[in-house]
């Protein structure tokens, strides 16, 4: 176990030095249906240990997958520590302080039904979706992934914590190919528990309603238009903001928000919180990968920038405190990373619940001519932190006189996030989880729409 590894570090390190370590074991069961038939089903297992040392003021990291049932094999512990110490010889100087023992919050991260579900049960879930999404002229794909993981973190200062997580992700997509028109519409739900039949039915309704609207193709308008971004379509809008709120970006000098803490940067209707204590979410945890207890962090409150996310290293460089956002893999040093991002002030529903809501969240009424964006192409590519974006649409609909007129093709949307989010015209009533982000639809005015 990592306790023995850290005890070895205590004996070998000098006064003022320190170390921490993470051990993680993951069992992953995957089921895939392609074109309506079971394509693959299997189980994989992964395990590894990551150790970080602070030696003579420098940081070194090493990792190994040579982990047995009782943790790091004894013959591998000393060489692993040797590699971390050798890494520290070339590491950067930093005044890193490992956290002391602290009381950890309680959070539901494990579902017994999910952990015990048989492969046959997971296949049943896929078959349920296949049956209800079947449609003439369309192909259906379904993927189910169940993950059971054990994580343990400890350091030489005496802090430690462990927790077990489960995660079940169910995704489905429907493809319709008609001549040169290729249409793909999908949806995904994630939780620590198996999805209920109501939640699966919500996926079916979500996909079929968007598919029905997409069968009619219409020409898009052009110019500066009101655009509704659905929860799934908001990535291009929110990505620059979350990147700018990372302490790493602040230290690199590339965040436009670096000097704007306490300022009204966005519309008063925009709030942004990262909360690792939401029950039933796959990213939730009682402590981060550096032994820092988890807590909710308000990043933007009613348009005012409040703070940035930090891990131990970025916090030390910024002369701040870690916000509990340290995340690490087996072979790298920790980095600041988000858990559950919550947009707006909507109440987060309980574990396993799903309320699909009306497409557009009730924001379409009153729009004479505009666009509803559900998916964009190329989000995350290039230098997005400055806020400028320009993306072709993968799935979008034209809005005419408050209703969806049909799907648009060969169109692109563009704008600057920091300008658009100063004037939010509306938040929808359809707040839902889209991956690790809980958000309603947003109506933004003056988005540039062009035909391609």
Greatest extent of the chain over all pairs of C-alpha atoms, in Å: 73
Angle subtended at Cα 183 by Cα 177 and Cα 187, rounded to the nearest 5 degrees: 130
CA distance 154 to 133: 47
- Residue owning tokens 């005496």: 158
CA distance 123 to 115: 15
Query: Could you give the residue ranges of the DSSP H alpha helices within 134-226?
Result: 197-214
The reported pLDDT for the residue numbered 357 is 67
CA distance 404 to 393: 16
Mean pLDDT, 10 residues at a time, the chain of 452 residues: 90 94 97 94 95 96 83 74 95 94 97 96 97 95 98 97 98 94 95 95 95 95 96 95 97 96 97 97 97 98 98 96 97 96 79 65 95 95 90 97 96 96 95 94 97 86
CA distance 170 to 191: 9
The reported pLDDT for the residue numbered 67 is 82
The reported pLDDT for the residue numbered 74 is 62
- Within 10 A of 36 (CB to CB), how many other CB atoms are there? 15
Query: Could you give the residue ranges of the DSSP H alpha helices within 273-318?
Result: 312-317
The reported pLDDT for the residue numbered 349 is 67
Q: Are 77 and 5 in contact (CB under 8 A)?
A: yes
The domains located in the chain, with CATH, are 2-214 (3.30.2290.10), 217-451 (no CATH)
| Tokens read off for 184 | 């793909």
The reported pLDDT for the residue numbered 348 is 76
Is the whole model's pTM more than 0.85, yes or no? yes
């Amino acid at each position: 176990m990592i306790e023995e590894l850290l005890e070895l570090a205590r004996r070998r390190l000098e006064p003022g030095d320190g170390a921490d370590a993470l051990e993680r074991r993951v069992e992953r069961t995957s089921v895939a249906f392609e074109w309506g038939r079971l394509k693959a089903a299997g189980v994989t297992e992964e395990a590894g240990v990551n150790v970080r040392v602070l030696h003579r003021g420098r940081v070194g990291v090493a990792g190994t997958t040579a982990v047995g049932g009782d943790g790091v094999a004894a013959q591998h512990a000393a060489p692993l520590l040797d590699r971390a110490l050798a890494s520290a010889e070339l590491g950067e100087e930093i005044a890193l302080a490992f956290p002391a023992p602290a009381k950890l919050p309680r959070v539901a991260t494990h579902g017994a039904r999910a952990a015990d579900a048989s492969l046959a049960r997971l296949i049943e879930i896929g078959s349920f979706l296949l049956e209800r999404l079947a449609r003439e002229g369309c192909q259906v794909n379904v993927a189910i992934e169940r993950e059971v993981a054990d994580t343990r973190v400890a350091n030489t200062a005496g802090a430690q914590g462990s927790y077990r997580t489960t995660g079940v992700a169910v995704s489905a997509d429907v493809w319709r190919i008609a001549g040169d028109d290729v249409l793909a519409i999908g949806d995904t739900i994630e939780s620590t528990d198996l999805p209920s039949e109501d939640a699966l039915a919500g996926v079916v309704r979500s996909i079929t309603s968007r598919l029905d609207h997409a069968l009619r193709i219409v020409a898009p308008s052009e110019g500066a238009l009101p655009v509704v971004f659905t929860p799934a379509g908001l990535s291009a809008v929110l990505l620059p903001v979350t990147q700018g709120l990372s302490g790493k970006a602040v230290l690199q000098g590339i965040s436009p928000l670096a000097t704007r803490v306490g300022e009204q940067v966005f519309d008063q209707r925009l709030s942004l919180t990262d909360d690792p204590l939401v029950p039933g979410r796959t990213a939730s945890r009682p402590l981060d990968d550096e032994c820092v207890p988890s807590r909710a962090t308000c990043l933007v409150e009613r348009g005012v920038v409040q703070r940035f996310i930090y891990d131990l290293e970025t916090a030390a460089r910024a002369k701040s405190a870690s916000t509990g956002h340290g995340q690490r893999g087996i072979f790298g040093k920790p980095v600041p990373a988000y858990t559950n991002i919550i947009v707006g002030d909507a109440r987060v529903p309980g574990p396993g619940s799903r309320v699909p809501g009306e497409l557009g969240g009730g924001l379409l009424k009153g729009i004479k001519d505009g666009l509803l964006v559900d998916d964009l192409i190329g989000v995350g590519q290039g230098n997005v932190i400055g806020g400028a974006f320009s993306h072709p649409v993968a799935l979008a609909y034209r809005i005419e006189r408050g209703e969806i007129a049909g799907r648009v093709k060969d169109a692109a949307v563009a704008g600057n996030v920091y300008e658009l989010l100063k004037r939010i015209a509306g938040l929808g009533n359809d707040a839902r989880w889209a991956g690790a982000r809980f958000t309603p639809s947003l109506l933004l005015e003056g988005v540039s729409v062009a035909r391609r």
